Structure 1
Amino acid sequence: MSDDRRVAVTGTPGTGKTTVTTLLDGPVIHLNDLIREAGLWSERDEGRDSLVADLDAVREALGDWSGVVESHLAHHLDADRVVVLRCRPDVLESRLRERGADEAKAAENAESEALDVILSEAVDRHGLDNVYEIDTTDRPPADVAADIEAVIAGDRDPSAGDVDFTDHL
């Protein structure tokens, strides 16, 4: 990967971001860890049992970053390419429940996935020509990581809008 290329790997919680990015060549910034460890959050959302990231503080902490950043928030950063991992909502909801998410949180994330929330945000911020959608449903993490490596290398065309889960609404 070019030393100055910035690739954001994003997606609804449960799509496999952390799992697949650990298989990539080269360093990966796991943004959620950075936010938690460096105190880059402004408040705790008790209802969602999550931290509210201070994105300005995150940008400042990252500085002139390059490489790969992964998080459900990564598409809010400046990036050259944005990979949006997708997963069929019923499978996503099951994954989240297996991870210990309560029923309401798992259902909320599954609905967000069906509505293309993160994909829409990524396209709005980065444009269709810079967004790459990858379906992780029922795929081995190594295969998804290989798809991300192809995006990084420039061997895959932008693909926003290829995945459609609206039938799960």
Structure 2
Amino acid sequence: MRVAVTGTPGTGKTTAVEQLVEAGELDEAMDVVHLNELVEQEEFTAGYDEERESAVVDFDAVADWLAGREDILFESHLAHHFEADRVVVCRCHPDTLEERLEARDKPSASRAENAESEALDVVLTEAVEAHGADSVYEIVTTDLSPEAVAREIAAVVDGSRDPSAGTVSYTEYL
């Protein structure tokens, strides 16, 4: 089983996955990989985006590293771009998202871009296009604790949660 956990930056995916591991909610055979850490450690980059103040990911290098690995849960705002059996899309109201990113000292332009992306369903749309609606699971993290989000992810992994794509709308933000 290959599970991708994705979402706009600030939706809580990394914190929830860390909580999932701490709580021991995954089968011991399942590896957990934070793709952003992998990219940094393995130097899977193809340059640097000055405007966004972030590395440009070498998607081919990451895909090659992931190839053939089974029983893996990988998380990143880019995770939906890679082969997976199930894709969890963490969602958060854009106002809350902006607050979370401000607390991380992200630049104003980055906060606005990510909030707009969330309101426009960018990550969700990409996930559904790449994997199909039957493989995508939206989790609204806005008012959930990291522990609650971790339990929702665990339910996706163990198959006790039904797919759900397109159930969340933040268009009022626009």
TM bucket (normalised to shorter chain) is: over 0.9
Partner of residue 2, structure 2: 6
2:162, 2:67 → 1: CA distance?
A: 28
Structure 2 residue ranges without an equivalent (≥5): none
Alignment of 1:44 with 2:61, yes or no, is no
2:10, 2:89 → 1: CA distance?
A: 12
Q: CA deviation at 1:62?
A: 2.2
RMSD of Structure 2 on Structure 1 (CA)? 0.8
Q: CA deviation at 1:138?
A: 1.5
- TM-score after normalising by structure 2: 0.93
Runs of 4+ aligned residues of structure 1 deviating over 2 Å after TM superposition are none
1:125, 1:10 → 2: CA distance?
A: 13
Alignment of 1:75 with 2:80, yes or no, is yes
Alignment of 1:115 with 2:111, yes or no, is no
Structure 1 residue ranges without an equivalent (≥5): none
Partner of residue 125, structure 1: 130
Alignment of 1:59 with 2:63, yes or no, is yes
Alignment of 1:21 with 2:25, yes or no, is no
- Measured against aligned partners, the alpha-carbon deviations of 1:6-58 in whole angstroms (never above 9, x if no partner) come to 00000000000110001223441000000011010101001100011111100
Alignment of 1:153 with 2:149, yes or no, is no
- Measured against aligned partners, the alpha-carbon deviations of 1:60-88 in whole angstroms (never above 9, x if no partner) come to 12231232000000000000000000000
Partner of residue 172, structure 2: 167
Alignment of 1:86 with 2:82, yes or no, is no
1:65, 1:10 → 2: CA distance?
A: 18
- TM-score after normalising by structure 1: 0.95
1:116, 1:62 → 2: CA distance?
A: 26
1:83, 1:102 → 2: CA distance?
A: 27
Identity %: 57
Q: Which moved more, 1:107-116 or 1:61-70?
A: 61-70
1:74, 1:89 → 2: CA distance?
A: 20
- Measured against aligned partners, the alpha-carbon deviations of 1:81-113 in whole angstroms (never above 9, x if no partner) come to 000000000000010010010111001000000
